[in-house]
Amino acid sequence: MERIKRLLDLMEGKTFSAYLLTLPENLYYFIGFKGDGAAVIMSDGSVRLYTLPLYYESAVQQAIQGVEVIKTKSYDMFKEELADELGKLVGDIGFDYMDAESFWKLSSKLRFLHLIPSSDLVWKLRSIKDEKELEKITKAATISDVGLEIASDLISPGVTEQDVKAELTKELLRCGADRVAFDIIVASGAKSSLPHGGPGNRQFQAGDVVVIDLGASVGEYSADVTRTFFVGDKVQDKIEKIYKLVEEAKNLAEEHMMAWVSASSIDRVARQFIENAGFAEYFVHSLGHGIGLNVHEPPRISPNSKDLLAENMVVTCEPGVYIPGQYGIRLEDTLVIKKDSAVRLSKAPFDPYTH
């Protein structure tokens, strides 16, 4: 209810009569419900959760005290009944997210009311993590570290990408993850130049570069960690130099991460360092992103970001250099922003050579 009260405070500045939550992550954040539905938070603080018959029992069990759970008649009637409820209000209605078709259908039934997209209100709350959220993300990061340490032992000539992916998935679950946070990336050889890898079952070869990007999820909260490995005892000198370049860019950026620093300036620190080494065109994505209930959420740490870092935001730092058709290097950690620094929650070692 404290989160709902803070949302109500933000709503006052917008003069909304109600706020409509539709994203599952937001329903969980504010109400505790894991499932499909929509919640209407009235300006007087009352909350109604509309959900399908399929989810009704779960909603009754999971929703926080004080939420009225309403079972819609059917899937087809869901938006009809929601529109009838919203139509009784006087004043504009803020909402977090809606596809175009739903927006059109609801808007056409509201007549004199307006649906106002205002996800920024939700993100002002969700981007700052409380103690319990930080505990879950820290546990997810610790489990992710174990996965990467095991990956180093698994990688050897003749082993396939799928073999490693399967073992890592099993290990994350065995260590206490509720699920993997996203489809684990194991990209070797020339495929490592693709930031998100790709499907395949390639066998590792001596001298390969292998990028592994994984994350555990604990209590709906995720971590995101990447390490780059070398297969065998030796790779080309230029590859080792690129690895060092990426590692130094990452360390430099993290030294500048702290509360009240602009996200774009952090991106610029790492990007300028890589550019000065002559590899600007090979750093093809943003430096990082927020993480929590979603793997990618605000703040966005990119050249054009308007976000400011704040204490207890959780973000990633993940510079990379990708030489098309040859190899790619990426290193990534999950960090929590503090007043004067950033603290790594993931602590897997930076040792590219496999054991």
Tokens of residue 331, six digits:
């290193």
Q: How far apart are CA 324 and CA 313, in angstroms?
A: 34
Contacts of 245 (CB under 8 A, 6+ apart): 273, 274, 277, 279, 321
Tokens of residue 228, six digits:
């780059």
Tokens of residue 10, six digits:
């933000």
Q: How far apart are CA 185 and CA 169, in angstroms?
A: 11
CATH class of 2-126: alpha beta
What is the rounded end-to-end Cα distance, in angstroms, of the chain?
50
Topology, domain 131-344: Creatine Amidinohydrolase (3.90.230)
pLDDT attached to residue 322 = 98
Residue type, 67: V
* Cα of 128 vs its chain's centroid, Å: 13
Tokens of residue 140, six digits:
């997810």
**Digits of tens for pLDDT over the chain (355 positions)?**
999 999 999 999 888 999 999 999 999 999 999 999 999 999 999 999 999 999 999 999 999 999 999 998 877 778 888 888 888 887 889 999 999 988 888 888 887 788 999 999 999 999 999 999 999 999 999 999 999 999 999 999 999 999 999 999 999 999 999 999 999 999 999 999 999 987 788 999 999 999 999 999 999 999 999 999 999 989 999 999 999 999 999 999 999 999 999 999 999 999 999 999 999 999 999 999 999 999 999 999 999 999 999 999 999 999 999 999 999 999 999 999 999 999 999 999 999 997 5
Q: How far apart are CA 296 and CA 286, in angstroms?
A: 12
> Scanning the structure block, which residue is given the tokens 């990467």?
148
pLDDT attached to residue 120 = 96
pLDDT single digits (tens) 82-109: 888 888 887 889 999 999 988 888 888 8
Residue type, 139: K
pLDDT attached to residue 355 = 57
Domain boundary assignment for the chain: 2-126, 131-344
pLDDT single digits (tens) 152-179: 999 999 999 999 999 999 999 999 999 9
